Amino acid sequence: MNILVINCGSSSLKFQLINSESEQCIAKGLCERIGIEGSRITYTPAGGEKEQTVTAMPDHTEAIRLVLEALTNEKTGVVKSLEEIGAVGHRVVHGGEKFAESVIIDDQVLAAIEACNELAPLHNPANLIGIDACRKLMPGTPMVAVFDTAFHQTMPEEAYMYGLPVEYYEKYKIRRYGFHGTSHSYVSRRAAEVLRVPYEALKTIVCHLGNGASVSAVKNGRCVDTSMGLTPLEGLIMGTRCGDIDPAIMEFLAHKENKSIDEIMNILNKKSGVLGLSNYLSSDFRDLEDGYHKGDAYAICAMKTFAYRVAKYIGAYAAAMNGVDLICFTAGVGENSPLVRTLVCEYLGYLGVAVDQEANGKRGEDIVISTPDSRTKVMVVPTNEELAIARETVRLV
Ligand code: ADP
């Protein structure tokens, strides 16, 4: 069966068509600047040329119509008709406490997702628009929602409660939810598979280090803690997000700089993280690594502070699980930066971690980067959220 995987943002839409038997991606692409002037679609069939078309996309329905047209195009398409697409899997960012698993989408599910919009105002409404547009254009095709938060719903109370008056949890459901769940789940399972160890027998810490970054503790196949919280702002220092800070800084800064809550939130979300720490050099770790090697003091501080925070979370989660067997690095930075992995692992001597620098220099494969006698294993496992969503979709339909 061919599964169309859709990851819909407010002005962009990523898609992949995946064959569920071979688990190969048959075609993929991206619609950008939806609803904005200069919108364009990029489309790449497997083994073919990437093509980019600038064309009007006033809304998401038009974007999805163009995606379906590209997939069925006589010359460059990969299927003859929409009938060859068996189901659609949609990434949905926030499922609140309602969704601990993926679900088949119906009207009731849509209403329940909408009820979570308040918890992810930037993401969920866009995800819903994508689902709506797809249902219009493919009315007979089953659709599945796969939630970023679902994998973390197994966390115990002591991991998800904040030290706030409990009435705010009871009234508004303010608690830790965690994100990147599809990736944490995929990577922790995949690592166990590669090591040929039962998933349920491992204590694993997954470091998903991309532009957004989070760590999770997976004990015996269940997530027991994760670093992102009510929103994806908490936890690690990220590309542009601050991660954990003293909450009193917000009031202090608002006062000093005469800024509103919205303006402060904008600073914490878009101007902080390694971008802010590097004195706005870049949020991209390739630029920061350049700066690090050239001796730029801000870039060095950004890289070291980023790695230190990751190492602290690893320590916390080793404590939470009463031990750790395996540490996995994944996502853009985790998969591609031997330097970041080295800086993090330098803190982990107490876990008996020893890194094999030759293995650490390799790229693009599932690989153990610790030495054979390293007490805790360290791996790089490239994440594949689209494949994970396609698998969930097949499982449900
Ligand atoms: P997201 O999905 O959160 O946007 P990704 O997982 O795609 O993020 O990661 C993007 C990040 O990966 C970029 O900020 C970039 O710095 C980093 N990255 C990509 N390639 C490399 C590389 N070769 N070396 C270091 N960092 C890299």
Question: Do residues 294 and 368 share a domain?
Answer: yes
pLDDT tens string 18-32: 999 999 999 999 999
In 10 A of CB 282, how many CB atoms?
A: 17
Q: Tokens 């939630």, residue? A: 147
Looking at the predicted structure, is the pLDDT value of residue 9 above 90?
Answer: no
Question: Do residues 358 and 236 share a domain?
Answer: yes
Q: What value does the mean pLDDT take over residues 305-319?
A: 98
- Round to whole Å and give the CA distance between 31 and 12: 5
pLDDT tens string 338-387: 999 999 999 999 999 999 999 999 988 999 999 999 999 999 999 999 99
- Enter the tokens of residue 86: 């068996």
What pLDDT is attached to residue 284?
Answer: 96
Domain boundary among 130, 147, 164: 147
- Round to whole Å and give the CA distance between 348 and 165: 36
Return all residues near 201 (Cβ < 8 A) that are at least 6 apart.
192, 220
Question: Do residues 136 and 13 share a domain?
Answer: yes
Whether 31 and 155 have beta carbons less than 8 Å apart is answered as no
Question: Do residues 217 and 119 share a domain?
Answer: no
Looking at the predicted structure, is the pLDDT value of residue 317 above 90?
Answer: yes
Question: Is any atom of ligand 1 closer than 6 Å to the C-beta of 332?
Answer: yes
Average pLDDT score, the chain = 96
Q: How remote is the CA of residue 332 from the centroid of ligand 1, in Å? A: 3
Q: Which domain holds residue 122?
A: 2-147
Instruction: Tell me the CATH number at 14.
Output: 3.30.420.40
The single residue of 59, 106, 132, 148 carrying the catalytic annotation is: 148
Q: What value does the mean pLDDT take over residues 322-337?
A: 98
Question: Is any atom of ligand 1 closer than 6 Å to the C-beta of 99?
Answer: no
Task: Give the global pTM.
Answer: 0.95
What pLDDT is attached to residue 120?
Answer: 87
Question: Is any atom of ligand 1 closer than 6 Å to the C-beta of 333?
Answer: yes
Q: How remote is the CA of residue 175 from the centroid of ligand 1, in Å? A: 29
Domain boundary among 106, 129, 147: 147
In percent, the amount of the chain with pLDDT more than 90 equals 97
pLDDT tens string 68-127: 999 999 999 999 999 999 999 999 999 999 999 999 999 999 999 999 998 888 889 999
In percent, the amount of the chain with pLDDT more than 70 equals 100
Question: Do residues 143 and 203 share a domain?
Answer: no
Q: What value does the mean pLDDT take over residues 275-299?
A: 97
What pLDDT is attached to residue 10?
Answer: 83
Whether 269 and 259 have beta carbons less than 8 Å apart is answered as no
pLDDT tens string 58-79: 999 999 999 999 999 999 999 9
Q: Which atom of ligand 1 is nearest to the CA of 289?
A: 25
Q: Which atom of ligand 1 is nearest to the CA of 213?
A: 3
Question: Do residues 141 and 203 share a domain?
Answer: no
